[in-house]
Amino acid sequence: MRLAQQASLHNGRQIGLYPELKHPSYFRGIGLPLEDKLVDALRRQPYLHEAPVFIQSFEAGSLRHVRRTIGHGMPNVRLMQLIGKPKQTPPDWRLAGDTRTYGDMLSVTGLREVATYADGIGPEKNSVVPRDAQGGLGAPSAVVRNAHAAGLLVHPYTFRPENAFLPKSFQTGGDDATRSPADGARGAGLCRGGRGRRLYRRPCARPARHRRQRPMKHGPAAGLHLRPPARSLNRPLPQTP
Instruction: Yes or no: say if 46 and 1 are a contact pair by the CB < 8 Å rule.
Output: no
Burial 204-219 (b: 16+ CB within 10 A, else e): beeebeeeeeeeeeeb
pLDDT of residue 102: 97
- CA 147/CA 157 separation, integer angstroms: 15
**Collapsed DSSP state (helix, strand, coil) of residue 114:** helix
Instruction: Yes or no: say if 87 and 101 are a contact pair by the CB < 8 Å rule.
Output: yes
Instruction: Yes or no: say if 154 and 144 are a contact pair by the CB < 8 Å rule.
Output: yes
pLDDT in tens, the chain (241 residues): 888 888 888 888 889 999 999 999 999 999 999 999 999 999 999 988 999 999 999 999 999 999 999 998 899 999 999 999 999 999 999 999 999 999 999 999 999 999 999 999 999 999 999 999 888 899 999 999 999 999 999 999 988 888 888 888 888 644 444 455 566 666 555 445 445 444 444 444 444 444 444 444 544 444 444 444 444 334 444 444 4
- CA 135/CA 166 separation, integer angstroms: 9
Domains of the chain: residue spans and CATH = 2-210 (3.20.20.190), 211-241 (no CATH)
Specify the DSSP class assigned to residue 190.
G
Indicate the pTM of the whole model.
0.72
- CA 239/CA 49 separation, integer angstroms: 24
- CA 72/CA 156 separation, integer angstroms: 24
